[in-house]
Amino acid sequence: MRESYMTAGSSASTEILIQKSRFIGFAARAETEQEALDFINSIKEQHRSANHNCSAYMIGEQNSIQKANDDGEPSGTAGVPILEVLKKKDLKDTVIVVTRYFGGIKLGSGGLIRAYGKSASEALAAAGIVERRLHAIIKVTIDYTWLGKVENEIRQSVYPLKEIEYTEGVNVYAYVPVADEQQFIDWIMEMTNGQSSIKSVKKEYLEFPVF
């Protein structure tokens, strides 16, 4: 699993008017190529009367899947500028569609490239960008006598507290960056004088807004 990567924070759309043409940008997260294609097709269905529904997406840990579609616009003037926006921001698992309703005034190749690039950028700004960082969920099992100290120390630390489970003992769950697992374990063991049981349960991504 990737330790961290940036992607779209949510699904969003924006609209701009350039020389009487409407450009509607849509951005979303897509973790598989099929999800990206489904999103593109859903926009095409909503805007069947549009002149063009141009798109691009980047999928995979190493951006192994990169596709751009001009959907009838001159080659390289729509899909590629959208894809370049994704590349410039180094976004993974993200899809963008820009729908155009032609307003009667031709923009030329340069004008189209700028228009599609701007629409893609504004859609991403509306969706927001997040960094997804891989965390281990660490389970700390302690006696009730340690609960106050352990809970207080974790709450004041950089490690988010996930939950506390009350059984015969107490299970305290915390999110720990994968690179810090041993450091966290050593910290807890020292804090409890070795009177704790610590186990990595599973791994999850936490999201942090970039803008």
Tens digit of pLDDT at every position of the chain (211 positions): 889 999 999 999 999 999 999 999 999 999 999 999 999 999 999 999 999 999 999 999 888 999 999 999 999 999 999 999 999 999 999 999 999 999 999 999 999 999 999 999 999 999 999 999 999 999 999 999 999 999 999 999 999 999 999 999 999 999 999 999 999 999 999 999 999 999 999 999 999 999 6
CA distance 69 to 55: 5
The set of residues, in sequence order, having a beta carbon less than 8 Å from that of 57 and lying 6+ positions away, is 30, 33, 36, 40, 65, 66, 67, 86, 94, 95, 96
- 162 and 82: one domain? no
3-state secondary structure of 14: strand
The CATH number that applies at residue 50 is: 3.30.230.30
The CA–CA distances, whole Å, from 170 to 52, 130, 149 equal 59, 33, 12
- 10 and 100: one domain? yes
pLDDT at 62: 85
Q: Which of 96, 111, 127 is the last residue of a domain?
A: 127
CA distance 179 to 136: 9
- pTM for this structure? 0.88
